[in-house]
Amino acid sequence: MKQDIFQAIADPTRRAILTLLAIQALTPTIMAERFDMSRQAVSKHIKVLQECELIKPKHAGREIYYHFNPKKMKEFDNWLAQFRKNWEIQFNQLDKVLLTMKKSRLR
């Protein structure tokens, strides 16, 4: 069962993990300590994140450092693009309003 990036991000703990890993790669045990959470619980979240390739493992002896994968997160950005025009229209209309206000001040 291949995981979905949208569902992976839906969980607050997984979002926190991503935020951490975007700064530096960490092992499951260290993550568990940071979140005051059982290692196994974290491990399951890691599995979900790894299945949709938002993070990647890098073995170092008996430890496994998980790295954030920006490439995959960019897919999200691409999905969001379809809505970007919607809020840009809104802001353009705001620009018009501001412009009108400015003109009336100058008058």
Positions touching its own copies (CB under 8 A) are 4, 6-7, 9-10, 12, 15, 18-19, 22, 68, 70-71, 73-74, 76-77, 80, 82-84, 86-87, 89-90
Decide if 12 contacts 41 (C-beta within 8 A): no
CB of 69 to DNA, least distance (A): 15
H or E segment to which residue 25 belongs: none
CB of 61 to its own copies, least distance (A): 26
User: Helices in the chain by DSSP H: which ranges?
Assistant: 5-10, 12-23, 28-35, 39-51, 70-106
Which among 59, 44, 62 is positioned nearest to 8, based on CA atoms?
A: 44
Stretch that binds DNA, among 46-54, 75-83, 88-96, 99-107 (CB under 7 A): 46-54
What single letter denotes the amino acid at residue 106?
L
Closer to its own copies at the Cβ: 84 or 102?
Answer: 84
Q: Which residues pair with 55 in a beta bridge?
A: 68
| Contact residues: DNA, CB under 7 A | 7, 10-11, 13-14, 27-30, 37-41, 43-48, 57, 61-65
